[in-house]
Amino acid sequence: MHLLLQRFSKGADDTLGIMYLVQSDGRWDDQGFVLEDETRDRKVAKETCIPAGSYKVVPRKVGGLIKKYKKEFKDHHSMLWLHQLNTDGTIVLNAAGAPVIKNAAGDEWQYCYIHRGNHEGNTDGCPLIAWQCDARPDPKTGRRRLMNSNECYDTFRKMIYAAWERDEEVFLAIWESDIAPPQPARRSPNAS
């Protein structure tokens, strides 16, 4: 399975994008909007999105977030953990041999997941996914926000789980674009 996150709008404190499932015939099927922390050349802890590039999405079954999500989502058994890939397809590791995400400056992120959330305060660098997005900054908080994140995340993670159950590897390419893509038709979270 191949996913594409196209970043299209950089704000003062966040970055917006659209997540696509890339079909075998080359079509891109919209999976939802994505909100991340802002882009920076150097990482600021809990305030910087991960770098554009190639990733593998792998299951992670331990940690505080998985415990929380198991209580909130039926059949939730794994977080959607991002592992950065080198140009040869191997996973980027730190000196201790643990998977990490690195930017060009050598700054590192660990335990980065695709998960739910409504604004940049809900992420420490991870991509948040939701059905809808309000790209206008809130007049009081200055934050742009996502809506229907729980429903979108639940649908998205089940699609990833199904791929893993078929023994498919799941890959994500993150691409930065200064041009907003055409808005795909929004599907209702209740549509079949």
User: Long-range contacts made by residues 166-169, C-beta under 8 angstroms, separation at least 24?
Assistant: 168/1, 169/1, 169/56
Q: Is the dihedral of CA 8, 9, 15, 19 positive or negative?
A: negative
Residue pLDDT, tens place only, 161-177: 999 999 999 999 999 87
pLDDT at 186: 42
Neighbouring-strand partners of residue 109? 101
pLDDT at 188: 43
The model's pTM is: 0.89
Three-state secondary structure string covering the chain: CEEEEEEEEECCCEEEEEEEEECCCCCEEEEEEEEEECCCCCCCCCCCCCCCEEEEEEEECCCHHHHHHHHHCCCCCCEEEEEEECCCCCECECCCCCECEECCCCCEECCCEEECCCCHHHCCCCCEEECEEECCCCCCCCCCEEECHHHHHHHHHHHHHHHHHCCCCEEEEEEECCCCCCCCCCCCCCCC
Domain boundaries, the chain: 2-176
Residue 141 is predicted with a pLDDT of 86
Supply the pLDDT for residue 80. Answer: 97
The predicted structure's pLDDT at residue 71: 94
Which residue positions in the chain have pLDDT lower than 50?
Answer: 181-192
